[in-house]
Structure 1
Amino acid sequence: MKVIILSDTHGSKKNMDNIIPTIKESIDLIIHAGDHFKDSVYLSEKSGKPVIAVAGNCDYENVEDEVEFEIENVRFFLTHGHRHRVKYDLGILAEHAKEKGADIAVFGHTHIKANEVVSGVQILNPGSLSQPRDGLYGSYVIMEIENGSYSFEYFNVKVLSLI
C-alpha cells in the first residue's frame, strides 16, 4: 500500500491542489496529522482516496486528536503532537506510542520534518505543506508498506500560497 502523510496544511488549497494529481494517480490512503482537519476532508473529496486524520491545536471539529491503526502489519499512532510536548522533546510521544504498541508515531505541530527512532519507535513528522519552519519548501512523505515492512521518502514542494 502507498500512503501520503501530511500535516499542517492550514487551509492552503493552492498547495493541496498542487499535490492532488500525485494522490489520484499513485496513492491508496491519505494520512493527515492535523491543522486543519477539514483539509483532510478536502483532499479526500478532491482525490477520491480514503483518509485517516486527527485534529490539531488549530482545529475545532469534534474529532479524535489521536488514533491507532494498522496497515499491512505495521502499527501506527497518529497525533498532532501538541499534547505530547513535541516542540521540546520526542520522548513523551515515543513512550506513548510504545505503550500503544505502535511501530510508527506520526505527528505534526512543529512544521519541521522529523525522522528518528526513539525508544524503538519510528518517529515521523512530514513537516508542513504550507508553512514550513525548516526551509523554503513545504513537504510531505510518501510511504510504501507491505507485509510488515515500510520505506518512505520526503518530498519538497514550492509553497504557492499561505491561503
Structure 2
Amino acid sequence: MERRTIVVMSDSHGDREIVQAIKEQWQDKADLIFHNGDSELEVNDPVWDGIQVVAGNMDFLAGYPDQQRVELDGYKIIQTHGHLQNINFTMDKLAYWAQEEEASICLYGHLHVPAAYQEAGILYVNPGSVSQPRGQILERLYAVLSIQGTLVRIDYYTRDHQLFPGLSKEFTIQ
C-alpha cells in the first residue's frame, strides 16, 4: 500500500517567504499541500501553484474559495479556515459541516493552535500558525500527514523543517 503525504499550513499573515519555503521543501515529496487561510497574499500569486488555499478572515482580496474538497485514495479531505464556522466559540458548526460532507479528514486554521483529534470517525487537523502562534505552544508550526492505508500519522514541523517533539499523533481513518 502506497504511502501518501499531505502538508498543511495556515495563518502565515503576509509572510510569503515561509509559504514558499514550505512549498520548496515538500513539493517533490508531498501528494497535496494545503494553506488554510489568512495568507494575506494575492490570489494570483505564483506561490499558490500546486497549493490548495482557502480564504481566511484576514484575506480581504477577492478570489479565494471559503472551502475546498479534495479526494485522495478514496479519502475525502475538506478544508476551511474556520472563522465562518465560528470555531472561536464552538466546534459544532465545523463538525456538522464535516459530517454533511462525509469527510475523512477536516483541515482548518484560524485558532493559531496546533490540534489533531478524531470525532465521529472524522480526523480534524489544525496545523497551528507558521507566523503567529498562540496558546501553550508558541512555536511557529505546520503539519505533515502521512497516510498509509487507514493509518494516519500527524507530525508538526518548525519553520526550519525540524520535527517538533511531543505533538505527533496516530489515528485510524475509514
Instruction: Give, in whole Å, the separation in 2 of the partners of 1:120 and 1:133.
Output: 27
Please state if 1:157 is matched with 2:159. Answer: yes
Unpaired stretches in structure 1, ≥5 consecutive residues:
159-163
The amino acid that maps onto 1:27 is: A
**Quick check: 1:8–1:130 contact (8 Å CA) kept in 2?**
yes
Q: What's the % identity of the aligned pairs?
A: 29
Partner of 1:84: 85
Q: Given the two structures, how large is their TM-score scaled by the length of structure 2?
A: 0.77
* 1:32 and 2:35 aligned: yes
Residue 142 of structure 1: aligned partner: 144
Q: Tell me the number of residue pairs that the alignment of Structure 1 and Structure 2 aligns.
A: 154
Match of 1:58, SS state, is: coil
- Secondary structure of the residue aligned to 2:41 is helix
1:144 Cα deviation after fit: 2.1
CA contact (8 A) 2:37 2:56 kept: yes
Q: Deviations over 1:17-36 (max 9, x none)?
A: 44344224522321111111
Report the TM-score, using the length of structure 1 for normalisation. Answer: 0.82
Q: 1:58-109: CA deviations, max 9, x gaps?
A: 1122221011111111111100000111112222201211111101110001
- Which residue of structure 2 aligns with residue 52 of structure 1? 52
Aligned-pair distance for 1:4? 0.8
Find the aligned partners of 2:106 and 2:41 in 1 and give their Cα distance.
22
Question: Is residue 31–residue 52 contact of structure 1 (8 Å, CA) maintained in 2?
Answer: yes
Structure 1 residue 37, shift from structure 2 partner: 6.1
Q: CA distance change for structure 1 residues 92 and 144 in 2, over 3 Å: closer, same or farther? A: same
The 5 Å alignment of 1:1-163 reads: 1-36=4-39, 38=41, 41-45=45-49, 50-59=50-59, 60-134=61-135, 135-147=137-149, 149-157=151-159
Residue identity opposite 2:130 in structure 1: L
Using the TM superposition, name which of 32-41 and 84-93 deviates more.
Answer: 32-41
Higher relative contact order (CA 8 A, sep 6+): 1
Match of 1:161? none
CA RMSD of aligned residues (A): 2.3
CA contact (8 A) 1:139 1:156 kept: yes
The answer to whether the 8 Å contact 1:107/1:125 transfers is: yes
Relative distance call for 1:25 and 1:70 in structure 2 (3 A) is closer
Aligned-partner residue type, residue 144 of structure 1: S
Larger displacement relative to structure 2 (116-125 or 32-41): 32-41
Structure 2 distance, partners of 1:113, 1:17, is: 21
Q: Which has the higher helix share?
A: 1
Give, in angstroms, the shift of residue 116 of structure 1: 1.2
